[in-house]
Amino acid sequence: MAEPTASQHVTVLLSEAVEALVAEPDGIYVDATFGRGGHSRAILAQLSAAGRLVAIDRDPGAVESARADAALAADPRFVIEHTAFSALAETLASHGIEQVSGVLLDLGVSSPQIDDPERGFSFRFDGPLDMRMDTSRGESAAEFLARADDPKAATQREWVNLQRAAERVCGYFELLAEDREIGLRFELHAITTESVQVWADQTMLIRAVGNLLSNALRYAPRGTDVVLSATVHAGGGCTFEVSNQGPPITEANQALIFERCFRTDEARVDSASGSGLGLAIVKSVMDLHGGTATVISGTGRHTSFRIWFPGPQAEVD
């Protein structure tokens, strides 16, 4: 087993990002991904005594490192909160802030998270399969997979509005798609406007569809589209399909692509931090719902991943 070595976190594009961000030294700024504070310290160096910086991070380790920094703790212009992007507006309001001069987001897994075996993000070191950005809440990947392997595991199924669910999950990836110059759109195919619902565990549904979108965006060429479509069937069933124009997947790899930790240079494996688990999680979600997960790919055609959620009648049967 390889042993981890201590390494210093190097902030990427530090001067370029801060120079582009801080146009008003007296302004109020947000570092929405504090990490180990490289950007925050550089932003503070550009602010006047009247400026303010609010930092947030989902990682308790990042927040702890900020609060342990004597210089940051003593700086009246700086505050850090342990929270998520979705709570940014509420966090700013709690500090009496209604408008900011700029927001910085350095998205993705950071090197301290990859270098720590306990976080479960790395192939280099043995460690628990955690993979949570926020280790203080939610279930780890190991716990989720253990639950998914249990045929008696409970799912909290309900009628989920397809339009709202699709808009929510697509919203997670809009910035990534824009950055990669990839079009991202949703298509709904339903018998009537009243039938735009799917019988599913909403959290699991969003996780499964999100993993498929993440995988598709990783391999879609620039200038192409990733399409998420939902087709509602009679009886409440629904098929989601995520398609893109990336390289084809061989038939041999199609048979293996939903297996845990399956990785190959030829196949377009999932992008859950390079873990080989994203598509396996999709398959586990579908197994819990009594549904299916399939892939269709080949030379000269788009690659499509399809997941089918059966309607409530399937539970009775």
Residue 57: CATH number of its domain:
3.40.50.150
pLDDT of residue 191: 66
Is 70 exceeded by the pLDDT of residue 109? Answer: yes
Domain boundary among 79, 111, 143: 111
Q: Are residues 91 and 203 in the same domain?
A: no
One-letter amino acid of 126: D
Q: Are residues 216 and 70 in the same domain?
A: no
- Average pLDDT for 246-258: 90
- Average pLDDT for 241-269: 78
Say if 126 falls within a structural domain.
no
Number of domains in the chain: 2
CATH label of the domain that carries residue 254: 3.30.565.10
Q: How far apart are CA 35 and CA 281, in angstroms?
A: 27
Confidence of residue 93 (pLDDT cuts 50, 70, 90): very high
**Which domain, by its residues, includes 250?**
157-316
pLDDT of residue 270: 41
Please, what's the b/e burial string for 173-194 (b: 16 or more CB within 10 A of its CB; e: otherwise)? beebbeebebebeeeeebeeee
Q: Are residues 167 and 266 in the same domain?
A: yes
Confidence of residue 276 (pLDDT cuts 50, 70, 90): low
Is 80 exceeded by the pLDDT of residue 296? Answer: yes
Q: Are residues 167 and 247 in the same domain?
A: yes
Q: Are residues 270 and 174 in the same domain?
A: yes
Tell me how far apart the 2 most distant CA atoms of the chain are, in Å.
68
Say if 245 falls within a structural domain.
yes
Q: Are residues 83 and 170 in the same domain?
A: no
Is 60 exceeded by the pLDDT of residue 182? Answer: yes
Comparing 32 with 299, the larger pLDDT belongs to: 32
Q: Are residues 163 and 246 in the same domain?
A: yes
Contact of 199 with 214, CB cutoff 8 Å: no
- Average pLDDT for 285-303: 91
- Average pLDDT for 233-252: 90
Q: Are residues 166 and 260 in the same domain?
A: yes
Nearest to 78 by CA among 58, 59, 54: 54
- Average pLDDT for 57-74: 95
Confidence of residue 3 (pLDDT cuts 50, 70, 90): very low
Q: Which tens digit of pLDDT belongs to each residue from 110-132?
A: 777 778 888 877 767 777 777 78
Q: Are residues 243 and 298 in the same domain?
A: yes
Confidence of residue 148 (pLDDT cuts 50, 70, 90): low
Is 50 exceeded by the pLDDT of residue 31? Answer: yes
Is 80 exceeded by the pLDDT of residue 236? Answer: no
Say if 3 falls within a structural domain.
no
Say if 304 falls within a structural domain.
yes
Confidence of residue 147 (pLDDT cuts 50, 70, 90): low
Domain boundary among 90, 111, 132: 111
Confidence of residue 244 (pLDDT cuts 50, 70, 90): very high
Among 133-147, 209-223, 269-283, which is the least confidently predicted range? 269-283
Say if 137 falls within a structural domain.
no
> How high does pLDDT run on average in the chain?
85
Q: Which tens digit of pLDDT belongs to each residue from 186-200?
A: 999 876 656 688 999
Q: Are residues 52 and 186 in the same domain?
A: no
Say if 151 falls within a structural domain.
no
pLDDT of residue 172: 86
Contact of 237 with 285, CB cutoff 8 Å: no
Is 60 exceeded by the pLDDT of residue 137? Answer: yes
Q: Are residues 79 and 187 in the same domain?
A: no
Say if 59 falls within a structural domain.
yes
Q: How far apart are CA 170 and CA 38, in angstroms?
A: 30
pLDDT of residue 37: 94
Q: Are residues 227 and 100 in the same domain?
A: no
Is 50 exceeded by the pLDDT of residue 6? Answer: no
Copy the structure tokens of residue 96.
């009496």
Say if 175 falls within a structural domain.
yes
pLDDT of residue 241: 97
Domain boundary among 57, 81, 111: 111
